[in-house]
Amino acid sequence: MTRFIPHGDMTADQIMRCSYEASAILRLCEAAAWAIQNGETPVDLADAIGAGTRVARDLLGVLHDALESHEGLKGGGA
């Protein structure tokens, strides 16, 4: 079972929200990485960066699948 909507069932609004959520997670991880590099936060934050990038990567995978299927790039289209 996945926490994501199957890409074939995603609406355009859900695709856009997925994209914005992935982007927000990546920005958060970037800020956390800079904080660690500058010694401003505990090193434990590295785990949060890893978790955030994994979720963002998963979101982007779903996003790419949805966009490809909507554009007919998968399943014999185009």
Round to whole Å and give the CA distance between 12 and 14. 5
Residue 16 lies in a domain: yes
Residue 62 lies in a domain: yes
Residue 1's pLDDT band (cuts 50, 70, 90): very low
Long-range contacts of residues 27-35, Cβ cutoff 8 Å, at least 24 apart = 28/52, 29/53, 29/56
Residue 6 lies in a domain: no
| CA 75 to each of CA 58, 65, 69, 70, 72: distance values in angstroms, whole numbers, following the listed order | 21, 11, 7, 10, 7
pTM check: above 0.85? no
Number of domains forming the structure of the chain: 1
Q: What's the N-to-C CA distance of the chain in angstroms?
A: 30
Q: Which domain holds residue 29?
A: 12-70
Residue 63 lies in a domain: yes
Which tens digit of pLDDT belongs to each residue from 56-72?
A: 888 888 878 887 877 66
Residue 1 lies in a domain: no
Residue 7 lies in a domain: no
10: helix, coil or strand?
Answer: coil
